[in-house]
Structure 1
Amino acid sequence: MPRWGTTQTRRRGRGRPTVAICRVRQVNSSAVRKSVNARIAEELAVGENQVAAAVRLLDEGSTVPFIARYRKEVTGSLDDAQLRTLDERLRYLRELDERRTAVLKSIEEQGKLTDELRIALEAAETKSRVEDIYLPFKTKRRTKAQIAREAGLEPLADRLLSDPSLVPDAVAVEFVTGGFEDAAAALDGARFILIERAAEDADLVGATREKFWGEGALRTAPKSEGVANTPAGQKFRDYFDYSEPLHKMPSHRVLAALRGEKEDVLSLTFDGGEDEAYQALAAASLGIDLSHPGPATAWLATCVRWAWKVKLHLTAETDARLRLRKQAEDDAVAVFAQNLNDLLLAAPAGARTTLGLDPGFRTGVKVAVVDGTGKVLDTCAIYPHQPQKQWDTAKATLAALVARHGVDLIAIGNGTASRETDALATELLAEIRSSGSTAPAKAMVSEAGASVYSASEYASYELPQLDVTLRGAVSIARRLQDPLAELVKIEPKSIGVGQYQHDVNPGTLARSLDAVVEDAVNAVGVDLNTASVPLLARVSGVSTTLAESIVAHRDAAGRFQTRKALLDVPRLGPKAFEQCAGFLRITDGTDPLDASGVHPEAYPVVRKILDRSGVTLAELIGDTRSLRTLRPVDFADDRFGVPTVTDILAELEKPGRDPRPAFTTATFAAGVEKVADLTPGMVLEGVVTNVAAFGAFIDVGVHQDGLVHVSAMSDKYVSDPHEVVRSGQVVKVKVLEVDTDRQRIGLTLRLDDEVGPGTKKPGAPKQERRQGGRPPQRAGDAGRGKPAQGKSNDRRATPAPTGSMADALRNAGFGK
């Protein structure tokens, strides 16, 4: 059982020694906090020596991709996901230690640091716990409780607290003084003292916080009837009568509710449940027996009620709001990061001559042709659509470009007028085939962020001769060739595959997305002789300044023939070379190993393999049969262990292999060009454009993405839609429902699902009930702390909004 300790301090005023406000749980000295490395090791379920090694490498300036790929022996093969988590936790725990040290110093300078306080602070595992303990010792404005102490009323509070058999009014008469002119005023002052004592009890605050989080609920309602009937208010109508347990509320609903509050549409109420339960906690903290029959018990009970309503409830609600937002932001950032990763690692079409079309109506369709390296060969604008309707002229222009430049691929942006432009391209390709010629392949390409790139400083540097409107067509063409190489030119958050991305902390989002881009670039590898500055700047150990130096040196001295030539680049020293060399590729260079993922430091291992095998490098590379007969352990030594040698042998099988999938395209159904063309039961091919916590959005070629709710993704339970689909994936879906008025499309990945008047809408909470949720309870069914008529007092979750294809889920801000 825990033991409780008290600390003695001397208050201002009459100088009587009193019990300090903060009571701390006594902790055995053996329970003093673990080291940062030990805590991270425990959380990751790995050895402390592995964590220590990774921390040392990070502190020395190594990047996560480098450590994960080329320092497996040192870290015990920690992967990049583990290392990213380690890096985040390392940052948090170091900040925690810095704050802990500052708090200890502050309390010590006040002359109030006891052994119990020191041990409690040393054992604190979160920043909030440190702040709870520090609360009584913070410099703060003069409170009513402090004024009462200065007037000598703390002994009154302590006497009533220790002996409930006393009559409060009779005892209070003894303490009537200047600022407290009668017994009632003196009792008020004593009450303020006990309320503040409870509010600054670290363990009580912590217990209240956790109880509120575990048993509380968020309730939402329209801020006013007038607001509810406005167009802006209708966007949030699924939250007009809504309630859900705090700890179960998914991120997209949290952020939607918070956005509704920010836009003055919704009123949010945090309901912790039964007040009496929290008051019992406060009473136990103060040592009050509420069942005692003494005259002072009623007065003490009032102190407890006030402590909860005036102080502890506000603290618990504030903490719950912050925790809810933080958790929702973390989940939203994780969704954005996963979608971004899928988009960056989408299949490249390859180095083929590509014609890019940036669709538009009034302003025309912008056209750009780029060669296999992305160099611009030709540009123009055509006007096949309204109001100009120059269909045949536009088609003739495209045909001439295809013939003149030997176009292999046509990339069509998926924005406004995309289906009409796709129809133009389809007609063009049919005519090319009918003439006996080989027609290019066409594909729809995401335009996300293209306008941001077009107006960027780098686009001006890269394409100075082109108008801003034409740069978008160039970007679309290049995206088809190599999505990764083109998308790195755009700030990650501008790519637009996030969930409520503008509602989350910008710093957290930027740090997470930058890590995703860094991991993706280094997983694929970069061609040193063709890479742009933005792409090189994402390589391990290469800053933007260094990337500019590499490109400048390449432009001045010609293409790099070896990786070692990187050391001739100004400001690129041995450390940067160590970090980046393995991720940079040189095709057709002096050394074939420079085209592989084998790090230059490990070339001696390859020489050893060649010596023992008795073959040349050219003979060994790609010889899967021979390579798989070799045992990694035979070539391992003190520096390069079995994990590294295993990676080297795998790399020699397929040097410089691209981990991205093979290129495929979706074929949209002919004649299906708008939402009105869809009917339930249709089976269509589409492309996943976005994946959220509640499902995935699919482009089926009608200018409006359809939603596959998580409950319609599989016959099996799906906890995360990313388990089933990823952004950019080509899938087959069946249309379940169509709402033409609101442009809503309900889809399912289960092609055997029945459709019809009785079909359950995909937005219904079928899956949430399987997760253990109770029957729905609307927010108005039960008053705070009172069960609804004929119902238990359990906290119940109102199901997810179920309007036509999750009206609120889509409309309340996804991707905005």
Structure 2
Amino acid sequence: MAKDFMDAHDKIIRRLAEELTVRPPQVKATVELLDGGATVPFIARYRKELTGGLDDIQLRALHERLAYLRELEERRAAVLSAIDEQGKLSDALAAQIQAADTKQRLEDLYLPYKKKRRTKAQIAREAGLEPLSKTLLADPTLVPEDEAAKYLRAAEGDIPAVEDAKAALDGAKQILMERFAEDPELVGQLRERLWREGELSSRVIAGKQQEGAKFSDYFEHNEQLSKVPSHRALAMFRGRNEGVLALSLRLPGEDEAPLHPAQVAIARHFDIFNGSGDQGRPADRWLAEVVRWTWRVKLYTHLETELMGRLRERAEREAIEVFAANLKDLLLAAPAGQKATLAIDPGLRTGCKVAVVDATGQFLEHATIYPHAPRHAWEASLAELSRLVEKHDVALVAVGNGTASRETDRLAGELVKGFAGKRALSKVMVSEAGASVYSASEYASRELPELDVTIRGAVSIARRLQDPLAELVKIEPKSIGVGQYQHDVSQLQLSRSLEAVIEDCVNAVGVDLNTASSALLSRVAGLNAALADNIVARRNAQGPFTSRRALLEVSRLGPKTFEQCAGFLRIMSGDNPLDASAVHPEAYPLVERIAQRSGRDLAGLIGDSATLKSLKPAEFADERFGVPTIVDILAELDKPGRDPRPEFKAAEFREGVESLKDLEPGMILEGSVTNVTHFGAFVDIGVHQDGLVHISALSDRFIEDPRTVVKAGDIVRVKVMSVDLARSRIGLTMRLDDQPDDHGEPGGGKAPRRGRDDKGRGQAAGKVTETASQMGALGTALLQAKKGR
């Protein structure tokens, strides 16, 4: 048993190494670290010698595949055992099972031996009809009725009678149907052929045209199954779930050919005939009927369901990848910094909620102003905002991008102008996505118990401008609004992926131990919500931490957890200057040795670029710390606690362009990328409706992935190509030389002529005709998620 485990373990290590194109020792060391409880951020940053420098992306992929391959090996052992218990495990079958490299292949091999309910085929076998099925399959020259007459019998116990030749032939047919449908090679070949050549056919259900108008692009739609993009697949699956669309799987030419291509494949696999059908032999017609029913009854529905599942799984995976990538960009967006901030959460009838926070995000004061209809108290609102700015020395004004945001942004603009020459004051439009979710959350009620939910939203907007990462971790990631059909995908897989993204982002930036919220602390490698609460409780009771070692005094935080989390926690102005850096405490003796050999004290060495760049990492390497770690340490000492996020910059929306009716084709505007999908990017240009830059309009060069050009949070210049007021759709381009075309596709404009890559392949201009579909069901879903309110 131990040997079998070791063989399976070694097989997994070898396969992971092959898939990731790395060396087996790297994989083995990583697996041991993961099994020992180490986190991906910790391994990626502090165990490079062991892993050979695998980064967090490789480590995440390894971790995910490790789980799959272990499940595969467990299932393989169970299948071998189950077949062996039946006494049917031949050496050849065992070899096939050992070679199975996917769960699907393993289940195909197991299917004939799987315990199942008493089938018609099983009843026919009990009636002694299996020899008849084998005889007619082996020799189609025999007359079926004559052979069947030899197998008539009376009822006996639970076994029914075989009263006539027709009953005998029906039983034999059931036996062959089951045999054919459980042949692993045949099933595998048909599955892959259907995936490779099959078409996904979508049709509207009669009477659902008006109700399902948003799915109109799929009312009569055919597309090669294996090439359906994730956004279209998920749109069609949603249409089916809502009872608007009927989906089916077809092979090209199946209606024209005398026999279905799959039936021909079945017949050829079992040497029944060569594809021409009835050859005049007595049993040909009966065997053709067996083949036909095998396909229609046994295989088609099964394979269609399976391949639809594969398409959905792939589409979900890609949608989750899109969401994760956008979330990462959003979390790592540039922070405006530690400045006193006034936030305005716009509103009309109920007024605009105003909140002021200090430089560290602590709530100071709130107010409600009514600058818009129906009160129109513009001057009074300006006066109140001016009072708050002066009282709290405000440097930033954050305006939420919800209802009445552009009107409120104009108010903020007047406020800033009023202080021109008196104080440095600037305004920024901030996404409200998820703010209302945070406001009503249990965490917000504990964090701001004295405030109404509407004021909590304004506080969140202010803090989000100061530090997006620190604030967004308090919100369920699905509510942030940067996903693609996030409600249609596996919620378990989505949550797992997004949690990994948040963990990687938080640990890449680092966390101030003495100011971080418990929500932010809980995302640090090795910590959880309970330990984060304990850290905050210790901080509140005994004051700020003065050293990382003091973490060991926190309830339930032991040495193993300390090892995982300490390097990602920062203490500014602590007892040891290294506590403000990403240098792990385990390496402090090494740094002291470096300082001593350099003739500098610790504080003097930090930031001394000339001295640090003159050092040779190999001279300090030992059995514990290798050159990669020492290189990282020297880089960290040069710029301790450096923030990997970019410099802060905000989009400047054009004055006077506040709604769709203000837009005109040809306008060049500045905007902020809110969402990047496989087919393009959505851009907020300040009119309460994001516009779409199709992939074909992102660049003059050929591109396959929009993220190579833009990412969420980027500030870009775009040209308006088309405006569809009726459907609230805006077509944009980042190719500023493109000209609007009044006869272009709705919501996207006519496709710009594409440049060609070095192989002379143009990106299909017709791609833009997808725009209506993408801006329909998908666009609605994205915008609803983005608002999060």
Q: Distance in 2 between matches of 1:398 and 1:594?
A: 40
Pick aligned residue for 1:801 from 762, 767, 770 = 770
SS of residue paired to 1:136: helix
Contact 2:482–2:782 (CA under 8 A) maintained in structure 1: no
How far is the alpha carbon of 1:477 from its aligned partner? 0.2
SS at match of 2:544: coil
* The 10-residue stretch of structure 1 (42-51 or 276-285) with the greater mean CA deviation from structure 2: 276-285
1:244 paired with 2:223, answer yes
Do 1:696 and 1:709's aligned partners in 2 also have CA atoms closer than 8 Å? yes
Equivalences for residues 264-283 of structure 1 within 5 A: 264-273=243-252, 274=254, 276-283=260-267
Closer/same/farther in 2, CA of residues 675 and 499 from structure 1, 3 Å limit: same
Which stretch shifts more, 299-308 or 759-768? 759-768
For residues 429 and 665 of structure 1, the distance between their equivalents in structure 2, rounded to whole angstroms, comes to 15
1:675 partner amino acid:
L
1:92-131 → structure 2 map (5 Å cutoff): 92-131=68-107
**Counterpart of 2:431 in structure 1: which amino acid?**
S
**CA–CA distance in 2 between the matches of 1:416 and 1:798?**
33
- List aligned pairs for 1:411-810, cutoff 5 A: 411-433=398-420, 436-757=421-742, 762=748, 801-803=770-772, 806-810=775-779
Find 1:362's aligned residue among 321, 328, 349: 349
- Supply the distance in 2 between the matched residues of 1:403 and 1:554 (Cα, whole angstroms): 32
- What is the rounded CA distance, in whole Å, between the counterparts of 2:571 and 2:36 in structure 1? 28
Q: Give the Å deviation of 1:495.
A: 1.4
- Secondary structure of 1:734's counterpart equals strand
List 4+ stretches of structure 1 deviating above 6 A: 31-34, 763-776
Aligned match of 2:168: 186
Match of 1:71 among 47, 53, 65: 47
The match for 2:377 among 365, 376, 390 is 390
- Residue 338 of structure 1 aligns to which amino acid in structure 2? A
Q: 2:210 aligns with which of 226, 229, 246?
A: 229
* 1:336 aligned onto 2:323: yes
Task: Look up the match of 2:148.
Answer: 172
Map 1:4-43 → 2, pairs under 5 A = 35-43=11-19
Match of 1:11 in 2: none
Whole-angstrom distance in 1 between the partners of 2:411 and 2:650: 18
Give the paired residue count. Answer: 761
Say whether the 8 Å CA contact 1:237–1:808 is kept in structure 2.
no
> Which segment drifts farther, 275-284 or 479-488?
275-284
Identity of aligned residues (%): 60
Q: In the TM superposition, what is the alpha-carbon distance from 1:176 to its structure 2 partner? A: 2.2
Worse overlay, 58-67 or 761-770: 761-770
What is the root-mean-square deviation of aligned Cα atoms in Å?
Answer: 2.2
User: Are residues 1:82 and 2:58 paired?
Assistant: yes
Question: 1:218 — aligned with what?
Answer: 200
Deviation at 1:619, TM superposition (A): 2.4
Alignment partner, residue 309 of structure 2: 322
How far did residue 264 of structure 1 move? 0.8
Q: Amino acid of the residue matched to residue 772 of structure 2?
A: G
Which runs of 5 or more residues in structure 2 are unaligned? 1-6, 155-160
**Equivalents in 2 of 1:53, 1:33: separation in Å?**
13
Task: State the 1:604 CA deviation.
Answer: 1.7
Residue 357 of structure 2 contacts residue 365 of structure 2 at CA under 8 Å; is this kept in 1? yes
Residue 209 of structure 2 aligns with an amino acid whose one-letter code is: A
5+ residue gaps in structure 1?
A: 1-30, 777-796
Decide whether the 8 Å contact of 1:146 with 1:193 is kept in 2: yes
Aligned with residue 259 of structure 1, among 235, 238, 242 = 238
Change (3 A) 1:498 1:798: closer
Q: Secondary structure at the match of 2:272?
A: coil
Determine the C-alpha separation between the residues in 1 that align with 2:764 and 2:165: 53
How far did 1:285 drift?
3.3
Alignment-mate amino acid for residue 124 of structure 1 = A
Give the aligned partner of residue 201 of structure 1. 183
Aligned to 1:21: none
Partner SS, residue 157 of structure 1: helix
Within 1, Cα distance between the matches of 2:172 and 2:465?
74
Shift of 1:815: 5.6
- Please identify, of 759-768 and 40-49, the stretch whose mean Cα deviation from structure 2 is larger: 759-768
Structure 2 residue identity aligned to 1:340: L
Task: Give 1:3's aligned residue.
Answer: none
Q: Match for residue 791 of structure 1?
A: none
What code does the residue aligned with 1:216 have?
G
Q: Which moved more, 1:295-304 or 1:503-512?
A: 295-304
SS of corresponding position for 1:35: helix
Does 2:126 align with 1:153?
no
Q: 1:182, 1:798 → 2: CA distance?
A: 62
Counterpart residue number, 2:157: none
Q: What is the CA-CA distance between 1:757 and the residue it aligns to? A: 3.0
| Cα distance per residue 1:359-400 (max 9 Å; x no partner) | 111111111000011111111111111122211111111010
The residue type equivalent to 2:340 in the other structure is: T
* Higher mean C-alpha deviation, range 623-632 or range 648-657: 623-632
Between 375-384 and 755-764, the greater mean CA deviation after superposition: 755-764
Q: Deviations over 1:159-188 (max 9, x none)?
A: 111112111111111112333322122111
Distance 1:763 1:401 in 2: 46
Q: Which amino acid aligns with 1:252?
A: H
| Aligned CA distance change for structure 1 residues 449 and 75 (closer, same or farther; 3 Å) | same
The residue type equivalent to 1:353 in the other structure is: A
C-alpha distance 592-802 of structure 1, shift in aligned 2 (>3 A): closer
3-state DSSP class of the match of 2:419?
helix
In the alignment, the residues of structure 2 paired with residue 79 and residue 610 of structure 1 have an alpha-carbon distance, to the nearest angstrom, of: 29
Aligned-pair CA distance for 1:629 = 1.7
Corresponding residue SS for 1:628: helix
Rounded Cα–Cα distance in structure 2 between residues aligned with 1:606 and 1:310: 72
Contact preservation (8 Å) 1:499, 1:815: no
Q: TM-score of the superposition, structure 2-length normalised? A: 0.93
- Distance, in Å, in 2 between the alignment partners of 1:302 and 1:757 is 57
